Amino acid sequence: MGIPRIQLAPGLEISRVLTGLWQIADLERDGRTLDLDAAAAAMAPYVDAGLTTFDMADHYGSAEVVAGRFAAAVRPGAPVQRLTKWVPEPGPVSAADVRAAVDRACSRLQTEVIDLLQFHAWTFADPRWLDAMWLLEAARDAGRIRAIGVTNFDTAHLRVAIASGIRVVSNQISGSVIDRRFTTRLGPYAQAQGVGLLCYGTVLGGFLSEKWLGAPEPDWDRLETWSQMKYGRFIRTAGGWEPFQGVLRALHAVATRHGVPIATVASRWVLDQPGVAGVIVGARLSHSAHVADTARMFAFSLDDNDRA
Ligand X SMILES: NC(=O)c1ccc[n+]([C@@H]2O[C@H](COP(=O)([O-])OP(=O)(O)OC[C@H]3O[C@@H](n4cnc5c(N)ncnc54)[C@H](OP(=O)(O)O)[C@@H]3O)[C@@H](O)[C@H]2O)c1
Question: 76: burial class by Cβ within 10 Å (0-12, 13-18, 19+)?
Answer: exposed
Q: Of the listed pieces 121-129, 141-149, 201-209, 241-249, which binds ligand X according to CB under 6 A?
A: 201-209
Question: From the list 136, 281, 285, 297, which residue makes contact with ligand X (rule: CB under 6 A)?
Answer: 281
Closer CB to ligand X, 138 or 156, in the complex: 156
- The least distance separating ligand X from the CB of residue 205, rounded to whole angstroms, comes to 4
Residue number, 78 or 292, with CB nearest to ligand X? 292
d(CA 272, CA 308): 14
- CB-closest chain residue to ligand X: 20
Helix (H, G, I), strand (E, B) or coil at 193: helix
Residue type, 85: K
Binding of ligand X at residue 84 (CB under 6 A)? no
In the complex with ligand X, the residue whose CB is nearer, 95 or 211, is: 211
Q: How far is CA 100 from CA 3, 60, 137, 142, in A?
A: 35, 17, 15, 14
Tell the smallest beta-carbon distance from residue 54 to ligand X (Å). Answer: 8
Give the footprint of ligand X on residues 218-277 (CB under 6 A). Answer: 227, 230, 261, 263
With binding defined as CB under 6 A, does residue 64 bind ligand X?
no
Q: In degrees rounded to 5, what are phi and psi of residue 61?
A: 55, -130
- 60 is annotated as an active-site residue: yes
Check residue 293 for interaction with ligand X (CB under 6 A). yes
What letter would DSSP give residue 250?
Answer: H
Among 190, 290, 297, 306, binds ligand X (CB under 6 A): 290
DSSP-derived 3-state class of residue 258 = helix
Among residues 46, 60, 200, 231, the one annotated as catalytic is: 60
Among 203, 247, 248, 251, binds ligand X (CB under 6 A): 203
Shortest distance, position 23 Cβ to ligand X, whole Å: 5
- Residue 92-131 contact track with ligand X, rule CB under 6 A, x = bound: ----------------------------------------
Rounded Cα distance, 182 and 159, in Å: 14
User: What sign does the dihedral 86-284-293-260 (CA atoms) show?
Assistant: negative
- Which among 113, 145, 115, 119 has a CA at the least distance from the CA of 132? 119
In the complex, least distance from residue 308 CB atom to ligand X, rounded to whole angstroms: 23
- Is 196 a binder of ligand X (CB under 6 A)? no
Whether 81 and 49 have beta carbons less than 8 Å apart is answered as: no
In angstroms, give the least distance from the CB of 243 to ligand X: 19
Residue 274: helix, strand or coil by DSSP? coil
Under 8 Å between Cβ of 236 and 220: yes
Q: Which of 30, 6, 35, 32 is nearest to 18 (CA)?
A: 6
CA 30 to centroid of chain Cα atoms: 24
Within 128-167, the residues that bind ligand X by CB under 6 A are 151-152
Residues that bind ligand X (CB under 6 A): 20-23, 55, 151-152, 172, 200-206, 209, 227, 230, 261, 263, 280-282, 284, 288, 290, 293-294
